[in-house]
Amino acid sequence: MATMADVARRAGVSAKTVSNVLSGYPYIRESTRARVLAAVDDLGYEINVTARILRSGRSGLIGLAVPELGQPYFGELADEILAAARRHGLHVLIQPTGFTREGELGALREPRRRLVDGLVFSPAALDQSDAHLLENLDYPLVLLGEQMFSRHVDHVTMHNVEGVRAATDLLLDVGRRSIAAIGMLHATTAGSAALRYLGYREALGARGIAVDERLLGWADDGWHRANGARAMAAVLDSGVEVDGVVAFNDALALGAMFELQVRGRSIPGDVAVVGFDDIEDARYSVPALTTVDPGRREIADVAVDLLRARLDEVPGATRRPPVLHVADLRLVERESTPARAS
């Protein structure tokens, strides 16, 4: 097995420099940090976490708790978190929580959490009534998403309402008036689904268009392609006219596009479609999917930066107030919607 001395020789630095990089010491040239991390990758060097904790009180690991990795948004977010952590000389322990309360409580409490110095946490089952669980934690935590908020912890989120409103406005701007909303959840009164539905309603209301409940596509089993196809089928089977679709994530949009094309509807000629998340698959669908980029890379970068800053705080010193950061969004127009007039 490779040793720290082997990494130092490969990178052309001292073993102390390697140790500083792997411990996340901030005052190191980026070129040196990059050489050391490249040597670690090349040699397959494995850190002895137990020894590091005994020596420094830190593991150099941070945790990432997300609902699942099979949903493309969370898989790609995890990749961005991993990349951001590497830039800080940190490693990431990923824990899928399965969209369950038990899984999310486990991520906050269970013994494996003791291996990590801090946690980036994206809850889906816990809600605002559980915000007290985030108080008085004995480790730094950065919260992601819209399911719960706490004035006690750093929080990074996105413009859900504004993003879906922009997506719906695009469809209205190109002349669509019978616009389906795919991704409704019966049990949700908060979180992403509720906020994205609010953006849809606001856009229609601003143009004097009432919500037609026949145009609401329900996806209670999760925001996956299959459920997008099923929700789209249910809307079409209701007999309502559809000339536009705004899906609450890209996976739902891809499923809806599949169902539309199976039924002989052209995209965007008959039905224009907009998604949300700007996952990689959106660029390569046929036609390529117009979507909302909610700032996933910014979310990852800021979350890891905030966690790193908390880890670097001096014990006993005055802590800075918690930060609430909302990432910038961008509407990415592709072939699933007609071009807007200048």
Q: What residue numbers bound the domain in which 38 lies?
A: 1-46
Does the pLDDT value for residue 111 go beyond 70? no
What is d(CA 193, CA 213) in angstroms, rounded to the nearest whole number? 16
CATH of the domain at 17: 1.10.260.40
Q: Is residue 91 part of a domain?
A: yes
Q: Does 145 share its domain with 185?
A: no
Q: Does 15 share its domain with 82?
A: no
Residue 59 banded pLDDT, cuts 50, 70, 90: low
What pLDDT score does 60 carry? 81
Q: Is residue 327 part of a domain?
A: no
Percent of the chain with pLDDT over 90: 68
Does the pLDDT value for residue 51 go beyond 60? no
* Among the ranges given (25-34, 86-95, 176-185), the one the predictor scored with the smallest mean pLDDT: 25-34
Handedness of CA 87, 93, 94, 98 (dihedral sign): negative
Q: Does 275 share its domain with 171?
A: yes
Q: Does 102 share its domain with 218?
A: no
Q: Does 174 share its domain with 144?
A: no
What is d(CA 55, CA 19) in angstroms, rounded to the nearest whole number? 12
Please report which helix (H) or strand (E) contains residue 253, including its range.
helix 250-262
Q: Is residue 319 part of a domain?
A: no
Q: Does 145 share its domain with 178?
A: no
Q: Is residue 236 part of a domain?
A: yes
What pLDDT score does 37 carry? 82
What pLDDT score does 48 carry? 57
pLDDT, mean of residues 280-290: 97
Q: Is residue 54 part of a domain?
A: no
CATH of the domain at 226: 3.40.50.2300
* Among the ranges given (120-129, 130-139, 221-230), the one the predictor scored with the smallest mean pLDDT: 130-139
Measured CA distances, 63 to 157, 250, 297 (Å): 18, 26, 18
What pLDDT score does 21 carry? 78
What is d(CA 336, CA 291) in angstroms, rounded to the nearest whole number? 9
Q: Is residue 333 part of a domain?
A: no
Query: Can you read off the two tokens belonging to residue 22?
Result: 């792997």
Phi/psi region, residue 341 (left: phi>0; alpha: psi -120 to 50; beta: rest), is beta
pLDDT averaged over every residue in the chain: 90
Q: Does 262 share its domain with 300?
A: no
Q: Is residue 305 part of a domain?
A: yes
Q: Does 177 share its domain with 195?
A: yes
Q: Does 108 share its domain with 40?
A: no
**What 8-state DSSP symbol labels residue 314?**
P
Q: Does 167 share its domain with 136?
A: no
What is d(CA 274, CA 231) in angstroms, rounded to the nearest whole number? 15
Query: Can you read off the two tokens belonging to residue 268?
Result: 């965007």
Q: Does 143 share its domain with 224?
A: no
Does the pLDDT value for residue 57 go beyond 60? no
Which is more confident, 38 or 20? 38
- Which residue, among 101, 76, 292, has the nearest Cα to 196 in the 3D structure? 292
What pLDDT score does 207 carry? 97
pLDDT, mean of residues 206-224: 96
Does the pLDDT value for residue 304 go beyond 60? yes
pLDDT, mean of residues 293-302: 98
The pTM score is 0.82
* Among the ranges given (52-56, 102-106, 146-150, 256-260), the one the predictor scored with the smallest mean pLDDT: 52-56
Q: How many domains does the chain divide into?
A: 3
Measured CA distances, 164 to 15, 126, 198, 223 (Å): 51, 24, 8, 15
Residue 180, C-beta contacts closer than 8 angstroms, at least 6 positions apart: 215, 216, 217, 232, 235, 242, 244, 245, 246, 256
Q: Is residue 206 part of a domain?
A: yes
Residue 137 banded pLDDT, cuts 50, 70, 90: confident
What pLDDT score does 52 carry? 53
What pLDDT score does 229 carry? 98
Does the pLDDT value for residue 47 go beyond 80? no
What pLDDT score does 227 carry? 97
What pLDDT score does 54 carry? 43
Does the pLDDT value for residue 217 go beyond 80? yes
Instruction: Check: CB of residue 231 under 8 Å from CB of residue 252.
Output: yes
Q: Does 171 share its domain with 279?
A: yes
Beta strands in 45-100, from DSSP E residues, in sequence order: 61-66, 91-96
Q: For 112-121, how does the pLDDT look when each residue is reduced to its tens digit (9 = 90+)?
A: 556 789 999 9
